[in-house]
Structure 1
Amino acid sequence: MPDMGGERGDAAGPTTQGLAAKAAPSSLRRFLGWCVHAYTASGLIAAAIMASLLLEGGPAAYRWCFLLMAIATIVDATDGTFARMVRIKEAVPSFDGRRLDDIVDFLNYTFLPILLIGRAGLVPPGTEAWLVVAMLASLYGFCQVDIKTPDGYFLGFPSLWNVVALYLYVLPVPPWAALAIVLALALFTFVPSKYLYPSQPGMLNVVSTVLGAIWVVPLGWLLWSLPSDVPPRDDPRVVRLALVSFLYPLYYIAASWVVTAIHWSRPRRAA
C-alpha cells in the first residue's frame, strides 16, 4: 500500500502454478524477472536523491522532490503490470517482490513526503515531532493484512502523503490547519472507511481511473510550474493551477466517503 498498479505477482491458476513449481524458469524469464525487480528498486534511487535534496532545503530542492515523487508513483503504477507479464513468482521464486515494493512505497509515499512537510516549515515551529504520528499510522496501515478489501477498496486512509504534502506546500494553508489535516488523516488510517482503489474492477474505480488520467495533465503542469526561487503560495498563477488540479483529490475523498457511508448504513438497514 499504495500499490497503484495492483498486487504484484502472477495470475496463474492452481494447475499452472503446480506445473511451474516442477519446472525451473528459463534463463530469459529469470533475467526478465530480475529486470522487473530492478525497475521496482529504481524507486530507491529516487528516494535517495529526494533525501539529499531535503537536506539541502529550499524551493528549488522541494520542486525536484515533488517531480521525483511523481516519477516514483509512475514506477509503482506500472511495475505490477510488468510483474504479471513475466509471471514474477515463477520467474524469481526466491525473491519477494511485494516486500521490496512495500519498502519503496513506504519511503516514497510516507517517510519522505512527511519529512518534507516538516522540513519545508508547513506546520508550526516546534510541532514537527507530531508528524511521527502520521508515520506510525502509515506503518500500521502498511502492515495490515486486510488493508485491501475483497470488493476492491483500500481500508482506511491509504497513505497518499505525497499528494498531501504537495497541496499543503502549494496552497496557502495556515500551519496549524496543516498540522490538523495531517493528524486527522493519520487518525483515518485506523477508521474502517473505504477508499477508492482505481486499478481494481468496478464502475466507480473505472470512472476514477479515467478522471485520474485527466488529472495527470493539470498535475503535471503544476509540478513543472513550481517556482525554484520562491514558495509557490506566493505565486497566484501556481495557486490557481493547484486549485484546479485539487478537484480530483476532492472527488476521490468525497466518492470514498459516499461508498463508506453506504457500507456503514447496510447493517442498520438489515436490522
Structure 2
Amino acid sequence: MTASGAALALLALLEAVREHWTMMFVWLGVALVIDGIDGPLARRFGVPDVLPDWSGDTLDLVVDFLTYVFVPAYAIMASKLLLPIAGPLVGIAIVMSGALYFADRRMKTDDNHFRGFPALWNAAAFYLLLLKPSPGVATLVLAVFVILTFVPFHTLHPLRTLRWRPLTLVLIGVWAVLAIFTIVADFNVPAAVKIALCAIGGYVLFSDLVVRTYSRITS
C-alpha cells in the first residue's frame, strides 16, 4: 500500500507535464489518503514483525518525498505563476530543502509537532493555483517557506498533535471537503471558500507559534 504512493506520484507527474492540474491533485489526493492510513494499518497488523527485512519508515520517506516535494516542485515551476528567472531556482530550492528536511532526525518533536515548515509543497502548489498571486508575490512567499523549513518553530501534525485535537480534526475535515470541491470546480470557487481554506492552513502552520508566543509574553 505504501509503495503504491510512488505509482500515484508518477501518474500525478504525467498530469503535471500536461498541465492537467485537477487530475494531478486527484492522484496526489489519493496518495495523501494512503499516507494517512498506511501507518495505522502497519501498526495494527504488526508489519515490522512480519516483514523485519523491510523498512516501512524508509519507504514512507521515499514516497512522501515524491508526493509532497518532487511532483509539487515540478508543478510550481511549470505553473508559469512565478517570476520567469526565479522559477527554476525556487524549484531547485524546494527539492533540496525538502530532501534535507526528510533526512533531519529532528523533523518531529516529542509532542507530535513538525519542526519548521513540514515540506507541504503539495499544499503550497494547491494554494498557488487557488490564489494565483502576482509572480513577484508568489516567488517571495515560496522563498520564505523554503527558509521556514529550517526555522525551529512547531507546526501541527493534523492527526497526532494532542493540543486542540478535536478542533484540529474538525477543521481538517472541513478543509478536505473544501479542497475536493475546489479541485472538482477546477479552482473556480467563491472567495469565501478561498478564505476558509487559507484560514485553516494558517491554523495548522502557525497556531502553535501564536500560542507559545502569547504564553511567553503573559508569563
| In 2, Cα distance between equivalents of 1:141 and 1:135 | 10
Determine whether 1:224 maps to 2:176: no
- Taking structure 1 as the reference length, the TM-score comes to 0.75
Determine whether 1:202 maps to 2:202: no
Give unpaired runs (5+ residues) of structure 1. Answer: 1-38, 227-231
User: Once the two structures are superposed, what CA deviation does each residue of 1:164-198 show, in whole Å capped at 9, x if it has no partner?
Assistant: 10111121311111111111011011111001113
For residues 37-56 of structure 1, the aligned pairs below 5 Å read 39-56=1-18
| In 1, Cα distance between equivalents of 2:212 and 2:73 | 26
| In 2, Cα distance between equivalents of 1:111 and 1:185 | 15
Match of 1:151 in 2: 111
Matched-pair contact (CA < 8 Å) for 1:194–1:260: no
AA paired with 1:54? A
| In 2, Cα distance between equivalents of 1:250 and 1:106 | 23
Residue in structure 1 matching 2:148, options 175, 185, 188: 188
- Report deviation, 1:74: 0.5
May I ask how many residue pairs the two structures share in their alignment?
A: 218
Matched-pair contact (CA < 8 Å) for 1:153–1:197: yes
- Taking structure 2 as the reference length, the TM-score comes to 0.92
Residue in structure 2 matching 1:252, options 199, 204, 216: 204
Matched-pair contact (CA < 8 Å) for 1:197–1:205: no
Matched-pair contact (CA < 8 Å) for 1:194–1:259: no
For residues 19-58 of structure 1, the aligned pairs below 5 Å read 39-57=1-19
AA paired with 1:41? A
User: With CA pairs under 8 Å and 6+ residues apart, which has the higher RCO, 1 or 2?
Assistant: 1
Determine whether 1:68 maps to 2:17: no
Matched-pair contact (CA < 8 Å) for 2:155–2:206: no
Matched-pair contact (CA < 8 Å) for 2:68–2:119: yes
- Report deviation, 1:243: 3.0
Match of 1:26 in 2: none
Percent same amino acid among aligned pairs?
Answer: 26
Determine whether 1:81 maps to 2:34: no
Matched-pair contact (CA < 8 Å) for 2:68–2:120: yes
Determine whether 1:108 maps to 2:67: yes
| In 1, Cα distance between equivalents of 2:114 and 2:159 | 11
State which drifts further: 147-156 or 199-208. Answer: 199-208
User: Once the two structures are superposed, what CA deviation does each residue of 1:95-126 show, in whole Å capped at 9, x if it has no partner?
Assistant: 01111110100010011111101111121112
Q: Whose Rg is larger?
A: 1
RMSD (Å) for aligned C-alpha atoms: 2.0
